Structure 1
Amino acid sequence: MVERCGWAGPEQIYLDYHDTEWGVPEFDSRALWEKLVLDGFQAGLSWITILKKRDSFRAAFADFDPNVIARWGEREVALLLQDKGIIRHRGKIEATITNAQAWQRLEARGGFDRFLWAYMDNAPLQNRWALQSQVPAQTTLSAQISKDLKAEGFKFCGPTIVYAFMQAVGMVNDHLVTCPCHAPVAEIGAKRALTLENPAV
């Protein structure tokens, strides 16, 4: 029987996210940063809460342009704390500004995208989980990336948050093998690996 991953649904916004975004490899530096920030806001909450507020987050945070957010200060924090469309958590809002500044430093050193994908040898890890209970909440690698991100100045990026991020941006393919999304996502990863081996392809 073919069925989606157990966590998807029942709301349509959740199903659409699972079917079209989750696990699809993302290589855009800014988009990767946006997702890491949103996963940080999720800490202690459910992802559906963030998903429903994502458009409001984008409006409040300048479409998640880190070059804009990096210049923000207490005035912007105070305004965001009044915005009912987002998660009004001072620590997470201030961390977004700090994380924008950390993103700029990594971007200047070669790219936030390259920094992250280097851990994967630039191609997604293809897992083959049969049951949702087999999927880890964190791994040794997510703990290492978390540690390294914190050393670069990032906040709200613990090992569990980082692994959820890795799953979402397709650094790992954690769709169950019974899920109709597993094979298409694996194919994207295979093409990426092939391109790296044969740049002319």
Structure 2
Amino acid sequence: MVRRSEAQETTAEATPAERGRVRADARRNLDELLKAAMKVFASKGVDAPVRDIAKEAGVGVGTLYRHFPQRSDLVLAVCTREIDACADAAATFSAQLGPFEALSAWMGRYVEFIMTKRGLAAALYSGDAAYQGLPAYFEKRLHPALQGLLDAAQGAGAIRSGLQTNELLRAVAGFCAPAQDVGPEYTGRMLELFMDGLRYRAPA
């Protein structure tokens, strides 16, 4: 016979309102863990002690392991979260800004994504099977987000035609690479020059 854990028994015996609070607490813990992990990974790398992540999130180490039994589970969750946040920003910028300004703002958000995931690079390129689906997920989420912004900016005559999403993403990733040595001012300046270059030969 399989014995339920004390936590399972407590949840099963709770009222619907109490179970809802438990689920809400679990979601908050998960959110705090992912934010804390991103911060710690960015500064100390993915091999940072899990106790540092738990402390940053304000939870116990046991809570971390309940959500993420393996370190690779946590790394994968952080990467997926960051990809989703970057992709979702496209709709927000489109609703608030003009076509070129929305594209510029999203490219800036993509630069932020590239810079903050530097601490994850060693794991992502390690060949670990746990991460093999990430490149496809990256493409699935970010390429359509950027394509919509490109179409709108090109339709408005704000940028030149014939641009491809993979070209832009690779170009931006390229000038982000040396930024660790020269600081964030470098990436900001390079992005400004890059966006100005997209206006060249624009029909408007």
Tell me the TM-score normalized by structure 2: 0.28
Q: TM-score, normalised by structure 1?
A: 0.28
The structure with more helix, counted as a fraction of residues:
2
Higher relative contact order (CA 8 A, sep 6+): 1
